[in-house]
Amino acid sequence: MNTEPLLTVSNFSVVYDVDPPVEAVSDVSLTLHRGEILGLAGESGCGKTSLAYGIQRLLKPPAVIPSGSAIFHDESGENVDLNALDDAAMRRFRWDKASMVFQGAMNALNPVATVGKQLGDVFETHRPRMSKAERTEESAQLLDLVGVGRDRLRSYPHELSGGMRQRVMIAMALALKPQLMIMDEPTTALDVLVQREILQQISDLRKQFGFSVIFITHDLPLLLEISDRIAVMRQGRIVELDTASNIYHHARHEYTRTLLGSFPSLTGERGGFVRGRSEPAATAVSTATTSAGGQA
């Protein structure tokens, strides 16, 4: 596995300055490798979103970041301290270097503009030197890439299924070939089969383009299937960070085992693992997730 760092987060904390203050993220340190999918797991409210948004400085008051740094190791060799960027530089960074697919993003498309126009707008804003023909061709290629197909360029969002709309959002996030994509529960609203197809595609695309993904969800079986490594968060802290296989077979932290145990598809009736330790993780986990889908 490539262990060249893309993002180094050190001693990062996020506090919501309400009464009493909520320490949503406490002293988190982690390194994201170039080209890897890092899953961020944990129950609702454990601080996953606050951490991901905080790194990209997307949080608004009452959120404050009392301590910590996030350094982006650009492919040019430059180390970018995200805390040191002014607002304009940060906005550029967010589209060019790192993009984000938000929770419920598929409902964020403009209902009165075609998907081709909305993709084209990304290029018009960020690549002003591109001609209209180039923008259209790039947009068409993106729609092909995410499995929507270029014949949908003239479709309006309401003419597309939820899965298709989510793919369009992923196409937008990919448009400027970022090195990092942060996905916050990107497929939760979709049915399980569509979800799996989209995740497979994200995994294939990152192999093709080499970007890294931080994938946030409370759905641990899903993370076990798609992630290279998984960080388990609890009450604002990362309690365990390891390969998906080690998390599944050799979880060290009691809380990780409890979390694994809370998914019936991963465990037997008495809470023990159904599948043997010698079984390859990918096979075991993919079967487990399929059966989770069947029960959902």
Chain residues binding ligand ATP by CB under 6 A are 16, 18, 22, 24, 42, 44-50, 62, 218
Closest distance between ligand ATP and the C-beta of residue 160, in Å? Answer: 26
Closest distance between ligand ATP and the C-beta of residue 184, in Å? Answer: 8
Residue with tokens 């931080």: 214
* Structure-block tokens of residue 25: 């993220």
* Structure-block tokens of residue 1: 């596995």
Closest distance between ligand ATP and the C-beta of residue 122, in Å? Answer: 26
User: At 152, phi and psi to the nearest 5?
Assistant: -95, 5
150 or 253: CB nearest ligand ATP? 253
Closest distance between ligand ATP and the C-beta of residue 266, in Å? Answer: 19
35 or 42: CB nearest ligand ATP? 42
The β-bridge partners of 181 are: 99, 213
Q: Which residues contact 190 (CB under 8 A, 6 or more apart)?
A: 162, 163, 166, 198
1 or 18: CB nearest ligand ATP? 18
Query: Smallest Cα–Cα separation from 12: which of 77, 57, 74?
Result: 57
The β-bridge partners of 234 are: 237
55 or 174: CB nearest ligand ATP? 55
Going by DSSP bridges, is the β-strand pair 63-73/5-16 parallel, antiparallel, or unpaired?
A: antiparallel
Closest distance between ligand ATP and the C-beta of residue 243, in Å? Answer: 22
63 or 164: CB nearest ligand ATP? 63
Rounded to a whole number, what is the largest CA-CA distance in the chain?
62
